[in-house]
Structure 1
Amino acid sequence: MTLHSEFYLFDTGQPIPCTVRNYLEKDFHELIAIQSECFPPPFPEELWWNVEQLSSHLSHFPEGAICVEVDGELAGSLTCLQVAYNPNQPHHTWEEITDNGYITTNDEHGDALYVVDISIRPKFRKLGFGKILLQHAYYLTIELRLDRLLGGGRMPGYKRYRKELSPEEYLEQVLAGHVKDPVITFLLRCGRTPVTILPQYLEDEDSMNHAVLMEWKNPFKTK
């Protein structure tokens, strides 16, 4: 299954031709550069993609290796894998569910698509590429007839409130509209809904190592 989608986005009224496709070995250098732009220090450099991880993505689940391209330049990428999800045991870490980003944990018989990473170059972030990439992950969820899409959403705004709010209380404030979180609010706008807080999900100072497990249920999948 190969992905290739062409469309236009608008920048201050100007149509911009874009392509969403599967990323390939030729894209590895640029994908790593995107990570460095999206996650500068204090985010740990060792958590950026490396060539071995990207090669493993193409080996284990190439359908879930997705990028968006503008005039020959990669604007962002999304990586996902297929997992078996137990709603009664939702807690996990990023390292556990993704095999530290190598996705050797991909389960071709799994019932859920799991977003490992989504990264948009800062200069392209106001054009809607993140939402476009997630939409294509939703399309893949439907194509594979999976129950849902899942992923741990960073909560980088939490550091500012850590002394006055628990992670659960912070999420409640975001859901009430009293606080806007750069990631969680974005995911809500993309149709994702929160499931639970994931403590010690990923080494991330801004999120105090927490994340929110968020899902999108396949509306075409009947019980």
Structure 2
Amino acid sequence: MPDLPAVSPIVRPRAVEDIPAIQDLMRRVYPPPHGPEAVWGAGNLRRHLERFPEGQMVAEAGAGLIGTSTTLRISRELALAPHTWSGITGAGSLATHDPAGEVLYGVNIAVDPAWQGRGVGRLLYEARLALGRRLGCRAFVAGARIPGYHRHAATLTPEAYLEAVVAGRMFDPTLSKQVQVGFRVLGLLRDYAPDHETLGHAALILLEL
């Protein structure tokens, strides 16, 4: 395991100056076979800050950026209806952001592989939930990746896999942790986003604020 800075990570608002470091981080988080579209473009990152600056955060330790998260606001009706990642995020541009939306929607979260399992993702989630409460949002919703599904796809439908994870009979590296911190799984989002581990599917998760 690589040596890590002997400092506690902090979460702060994203700044324009962070864009190159965010792109470097996302390349580490999404190596091949993820395609280049998994890395935010610089123009897109600037648009995020223009459309919803308070919803964009980074985590850092010392001088290094070790995590990033992206959110938008949207109506509860749209958030809980069947949707794809591209459709609900405006293909990642946040063009769908509604400043009056009662739901804070989790567009993306990424943690440096060297820091995964060290609580950075939890810090980013706590900061996003605190933001939602501060803005008066009623819930946090996201399409949660189910990266363990590809190992069971030959024998289980994605719906059956979700049921097993929620019941605790199977462990999923992402969804199990979200269930443990209080998220409810409302159902499956089929063909949510291209992903070789999830086979494109995601769990629709909700936490009331």
Question: Could you state the TM-score of these two structures normalised by the residue count of structure 1?
Answer: 0.88
Stretches of structure 2 that go unaligned for 5 or more consecutive residues are none
Output the aligned Cα RMSD.
Answer: 1.9
Between the aligned partners of 1:148 and 1:81, the Cα distance in structure 2 is 12
**1:87–1:116 distance in 2 versus 1, CA, 3 Å:** closer
Deviations 1:88-130, CA, capped at 9 Å, x for gaps = 9521000011111110110011110000000000111121000
Tell whether the 8 Å contact from 2:9 to 2:120 is kept in structure 1 after alignment: no
Question: For structure 1, which segment, 195-204 or 38-47, has the greater mean C-alpha deviation from structure 2 after superposition?
Answer: 38-47
1:172 Cα deviation from its structure 2 partner: 1.0
1:44 Cα deviation from its structure 2 partner: 1.9
Q: Does 1:65 align with 2:56?
A: yes
Deviations 1:173-221, CA, capped at 9 Å, x for gaps = 1112221111111222332221110001001111010000111101xxx
- Aligned partner (choices 135, 143, 151) of residue 152 of structure 1: 143
- Aligned partner (choices 117, 134, 153) of residue 126 of structure 1: 117
Tell whether the 8 Å contact from 2:12 to 2:59 is kept in structure 1 after alignment: yes
Question: For structure 1, which segment, 87-96 or 43-52, has the greater mean C-alpha deviation from structure 2 after superposition?
Answer: 87-96
SS at 1:63's partner residue? helix
Matched pairs, number:
207
Q: Does 1:198 align with 2:197?
A: no
- Aligned partner (choices 97, 100, 103) of residue 109 of structure 1: 100
Tell whether the 8 Å contact from 2:107 to 2:142 is kept in structure 1 after alignment: yes
Question: Could you state the TM-score of these two structures normalised by the residue count of structure 2?
Answer: 0.94
Between the aligned partners of 1:211 and 1:131, the Cα distance in structure 2 is 19
Between the aligned partners of 2:58 and 2:71, the Cα distance in structure 1 is 11
1:25 Cα deviation from its structure 2 partner: 1.0
Question: For structure 1, which segment, 132-141 or 31-40, has the greater mean C-alpha deviation from structure 2 after superposition?
Answer: 31-40
Question: For structure 1, which segment, 201-210 or 44-53, has the greater mean C-alpha deviation from structure 2 after superposition?
Answer: 44-53
Stretches of structure 1 that go unaligned for 5 or more consecutive residues are 1-10, 219-223
- Residue 163 of structure 1 corresponds to 154
1:136 Cα deviation from its structure 2 partner: 0.6
1:85 Cα deviation from its structure 2 partner: 1.6
- Residue 41 of structure 2 corresponds to 50
Q: Does 1:216 align with 2:207?
A: yes
Between the aligned partners of 1:88 and 1:160, the Cα distance in structure 2 is 28
Tell whether the 8 Å contact from 1:134 to 1:190 is kept in structure 2 after alignment: no
AA at the equivalent of 1:154: R
Where do 4+ consecutive residues of structure 1 move more than 3 Å?
none
Q: After the TM superposition, which residues 131-142 of structure 1 pair with which residues of structure 2 at under 5 Å, given as runs? A: 131-142=122-133
Between the aligned partners of 1:215 and 1:66, the Cα distance in structure 2 is 20
SS at 2:147's partner residue? coil
Deviations 1:140-191, CA, capped at 9 Å, x for gaps = 1110111100110111111111111111100111112221111111222332
Between the aligned partners of 1:49 and 1:186, the Cα distance in structure 2 is 25
Q: Which protein is richer in strand relative to its size? A: 1
- Residue 19 of structure 2 corresponds to 28
Identity %: 31
Between the aligned partners of 2:107 and 2:80, the Cα distance in structure 1 is 19
**1:198–1:75 distance in 2 versus 1, CA, 3 Å:** same
SS at 2:7's partner residue? strand
